[in-house]
Amino acid sequence: MATLHLIRHGQASFGASDYDQLSERGWEQGRVLGRWVSRHTQPERLFGGELRRHRETIDALAEGFGGGFPESRVHPGLNEFDHRAVLAAYRPGWGDPETMARELAKQPDPRKAFQDAFSEAIRRWIGGEHELDYPESWRSFKKRVLVGFEEVIRDAGDARHVFVVTSGGPISVMAQSLLELDDTRAFQLNEVLANASVSRVLFSGERRSLAVFNSFGHLEGEDPKLVTYR
């Protein structure tokens, strides 16, 4: 059996003009994980999505790991869904980060206000009744992700430890498929995925098994404040 190590990217820059970059804490999460990996596993293949937060998490992992970290290969199937498009379909205007930031700043708790709106936007998206409102429907997203993971496994060849840096959405879709969960439960998994957490899928031939989900003890052991979810 080989292992697919699914890594959620480090903390991105919530509230910044460019969300798609790691915060300082996100960089440290990646370095901590890299150090932990260097003590336990030798990655043989490394894949990541196209997003900046994926690339920067890989860079942070490499810093923490030290020499011998493999070169990464980019796979678009590992990209997260477009959360701005999902938000904008639910609340027009929020496709613009500055407009969203101004409106959230008026709320007593901007993070909670964002999470509440985001949860409602997701429910609308996965409900399937408004598919034409989105550049990528929920069904299309799931298909793209599952095909992407299978292509990664194929391209990994005979590697025993395959590392994938991606986002919460793709990891949740993989877990949903393996555990045969409905769409609502799949996104409940997404809500609890920690930044720089590790999930593991064992694979051999056509067989796939979820062995570990959302492990972040490497962060807690270093500093509990490194555990974040957004």
Domain range annotation of the chain = 2-81+138-226, 82-135
pLDDT tens per residue across span 104-115? 888 898 888 888
pLDDT tens per residue across span 117-162? 888 999 999 998 999 999 999 999 999 999 999 999 999 999 999 9
Q: Which CATH number fits domain 2-81+138-226: 3.40.50.1240, 2.40.30.170, 3.50.50.60, 3.40.50.150?
A: 3.40.50.1240
Q: What is the mean pLDDT of residues 39-46?
A: 96
Residue 129 CB-half CA count within 13 A: 6
Q: Which candidate, 6, 50, 51, 11, places its Cα nearest to that of 31?
A: 11
Rounded-to-integer distance, Cα 230 and Cα 168, Å:
10
- The pTM (predicted TM-score) of the whole model is 0.91
Q: Which candidate, 22, 26, 23, 140, places its Cα nearest to that of 81?
A: 140
Rounded-to-integer distance, Cα 113 and Cα 177, Å:
30
